[in-house]
Amino acid sequence: MNTFSINSVYEEIFKTFPQVEIEEHIKKIIELDYYYPYNSTFFCITNTVTKQFEYISKNFTACTGLKNEDMLKGGMDYFWSRYHENDINLWLQCLQGLMNFTMNELDPDKRSKMSYTWNYRIKNAQGKFVTIIQNTTPIQFDKTNKPIVGLAHYTVLEDEIRMDICASAKYLNDKNEYETLYFNNISNKNLLGAVSNRERDIIRQLLVKKTSKEIAESLHISRHTVDTHRRNILKKFNLASTGELISYFKGNINLI
């Protein structure tokens, strides 16, 4: 799929008003970039109206070898041009699914507390394809309450790591716990298809090695309920232990 085709789908997803104002708190985020250490992550402030990056953190070049000025000049068209050709259609399906969920199924009052995650591969400056896990939090909305400016964090994995392409949406609830409200494994529609959102929340906590007691406390349910969910999860995937569960989902730990 060429850049023109990507633009057509992308503009349909994010069609909105042409003017966006960057709030003062976004400027503060940019100021903080000076103090962040170099690591395997970078962040951008994205504008879906202009398809430009309002800001790109200094770690972008350290992570990818690519130049910040090329991203700022070329915008999203430049970034898209580096996507692996096999991932483009799957990535667009991620966006379409997330936007459809946000605009048609999600309570508008929850949109300001959502976090969206998806992944894809890009070609770095050395010509190798590396996996990017993108986590975007909306920080500005248009008059229809559609997210248009976001703070996006990108984690760059080693080039040999391969992952299913997935999309998820999590809500920061009143207890300051993230709840999975949407999950879609685009590469494999069957993965997690039979798992409830509550079971998915438990899987996510098991993957970071929390105990049943800790999970029960964080989700405000009984330990007995957690243990029942754990048994059901293992049964659904024909697994014998939590260790096998961790191995099974290791490739998608950041997306579940």
What's the pLDDT tens digit per position in 88-99? 999 999 999 999
CA distances from 172 to 114, 151, 177, 179 (A): 6, 16, 6, 7
Q: What is the pLDDT of residue 106?
A: 92
Between β-strands 166-172 and 114-123, what pairing exists: parallel, antiparallel or unpaired? Answer: antiparallel
CA–chain centroid gap for 199, Å, is: 19
The continuous run of DSSP H or E covering 245 comes out as: helix 242-249
For 102-130, what is the HEC assignment?
A: HHHCCCHHHHHHEEEEEEEEEECCCCCEE
Q: What is the pLDDT of residue 64?
A: 95
Q: What is the pLDDT of residue 192?
A: 54
Query: pTM to 2 decimals?
Result: 0.71
Q: Is 143 helix (H, G, I), strand (E, B) or coil?
A: coil
Note the pLDDT tens digit of each residue in 31-40: 777 766 667 8
- Which residues of the chain are under the pLDDT cut of 50? 190
Q: What are the structural domains of the chain?
A: 3-187 (3.30.450.20), 192-256 (1.10.10.10)
| Residue corresponding to tokens 């430009």 | 52
Q: How far apart are the C-alpha atoms of 46 and 54, rounded to whole Å?
A: 6
Q: How far apart are the C-alpha atoms of 114 and 96, rounded to whole Å?
A: 16
Handedness of CA 214, 215, 219, 223 (dihedral sign): negative
